Amino acid sequence: MQVRALKTKDIFPMSRILKKIGLKDVIREAAANMAANAKAANKPEDKKSAAASAQMKLGADIVATLFENLYLAEEETNAFLADLVGLKPEEFAELELTETLGIIDQLKGSKVFASFLKQASQ
């Protein structure tokens, strides 16, 4: 199933979902930690190592927060993801998990989505 390009109208449901599941705070804290680690590193290779470590921690924190709190935004998430692939929320909710994970992977790979998350964390 192909995910359509993100549009301006997608900002609003994404923002509601982030707020409901508390992901904005996790992203903001991780961004601050990444900046502090980069400043603390003295050598370029230390900075690269610190950045890689911080990115791994950020990814783990995002996944943990997402799975802990996703139930808080179940309806909004189903509606948003369904819209991205041209389905009704009820149809999306009945997809095989592998299909849903594929859709999420496509969304994660979107530069626009990454940019939105970066802006949302500020």
Q: Using alpha carbons, select from 112, 116, 110 the residue that is nearest to residue 2.
A: 110
Rounded to 5, what percent of the chain is helix, strand, coil? 85, 0, 15
In the chain, what are the domain boundaries?
23-117
Task: Say which amino acid occupies 54.
Answer: A
pLDDT in tens, 76-119: 999 999 999 999 999 999 999 999 999 999 998 888 988 887 77
pLDDT at 6 over 80: yes
Task: Tell me the pTM.
Answer: 0.74
Mean pLDDT, the chain, rounded, equals 85
- Contact between 75 and 89 under an 8 Å Cβ cutoff? The reply is yes
Q: What is the pLDDT of residue 61?
A: 77
Using DSSP's 3-state secondary structure scheme, residue 48 falls into helix
